[in-house]
């Protein structure tokens, strides 16, 4: 059973500040897939921070209109019999009243779920690498270019400026030149729009490019970058634990907290100029 400590995990990172760089540890939000089963049938896989999983399952069932009242649910519990021991806390079984009618096949086809596979982080990463192998990209970028990229992204968000309610994703060349910026209420949608723009122009794979996002770097965003062959993802906020795990396995570079005069580098450090001259904190 998960508790509050499962929401945080320590990962390796390199802190780049001006001309100096130092190695250390960082606390990141934990991200793991959660499979929701209804009457023994898997209906959704959601990426979440472990903890309060029964509440998440109940809320998902209500907001997706799978159930309409609390008393239709008779039990919510973690499954303890799973194929992979690593997935023990990542499967929730829901029981419903006998008189609640469900078209489970239609539900499995129509419910919007995560793009990832598997019900443990290891399986999710393996699935991502099965369709998109580790990157071999010689991109090298200066810290000041990353700061300029994030400034350009912030300035290219008219809908956010008007509403305060959208995410942005931008594709940039290695010298910081913007290729395209897109906004959307969903951060993953914004990334998909950027990749779709490149696809329509025959620009895939996107070797030597930087993907900049306005929020955090989740596993799904890292996975999308890997699939598009983008070697570096930069963000104003933090990566999640599973995004860092994927970056380390896939030779992907993540730059988090790119604001002010410094940022953190996770995964492959060699693409950030100066990060190789790092010391220990």
CB 48 within 8 A of CB 91: no
**Cα separations in angstroms, 280 against 45, 168, 255, 258, 266:** 39, 34, 18, 20, 15
Active site residues: 117
CA dihedral 61, 64, 66, 71 (to 10 degrees): 50
- Rounded CA separation 144/233 (Å): 15
CB 228 within 8 A of CB 205: yes
146 CB burial (10 A radius; 0-12, 13-18, 19+): buried
- Written as six digits, the tokens of 39 are 């009457």
**Within its chain, how far is the Cα of 218 from the centroid?**
2
Check the CA dihedral 175-179-181-187 and report its sign.
negative
With a CB cutoff of 8 Å and minimum separation 6, the contacts of 21 are 14, 15, 274, 275, 276, 277, 278, 279
- Rounded CA separation 260/272 (Å): 17
């Amino acid at each position: 059973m998960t508790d509050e400590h499962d929401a945080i995990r320590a990962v390796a990172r390199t802190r780049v500040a001006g001309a100096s760089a130092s190695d250390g540890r960082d606390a990141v939000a934990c991200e793991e897939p959660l499979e929701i089963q209804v009457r023994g049938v898997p209906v959704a896989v959601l990426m979440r921070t472990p903890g309060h999983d029964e509440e998440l399952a109940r809320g998902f069932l209500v907001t997706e209109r799978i159930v309409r009242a609390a008393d239709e649910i008779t039990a919510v519990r973690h499954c303890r019999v799973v194929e992979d021991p690593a997935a023990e806390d990542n499967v929730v079984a829901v029981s419903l009243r006998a008189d609640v009618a469900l078209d489970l096949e239609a539900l499995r086809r129509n419910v919007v779920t995560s793009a990832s596979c598997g019900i443990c982080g290891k399986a999710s990463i393996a699935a991502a690498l099965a369709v998109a192998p580790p990157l071999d990209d010689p991109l090298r970028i200066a810290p000041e270019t990353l700061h300029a990229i994030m400034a350009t992204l912030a300035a290219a968000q008219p809908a956010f400026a008007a509403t305060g309610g959208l995410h942005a994703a931008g594709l940039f060349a290695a010298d910081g030149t913007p290729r395209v910026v897109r906004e959307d209420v969903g951060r993953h949608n914004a990334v998909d729009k950027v990749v779709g723009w490149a696809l329509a122009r025959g620009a895939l794979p996107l070797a030597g490019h930087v993907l900049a996002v306005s929020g955090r770097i989740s596993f799904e965003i890292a996975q999308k970058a890997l699939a598009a062959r983008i070697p570096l993802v930069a963000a104003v906020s933090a990566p999640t634990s599973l995004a860092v795990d994927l970056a380390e396995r896939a030779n992907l570079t993540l730059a988090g907290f790119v604001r002010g005069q410094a940022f953190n580098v996770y995964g492959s450090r060699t693409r950030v100029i100066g990060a190789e001259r790092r010391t220990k904190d």
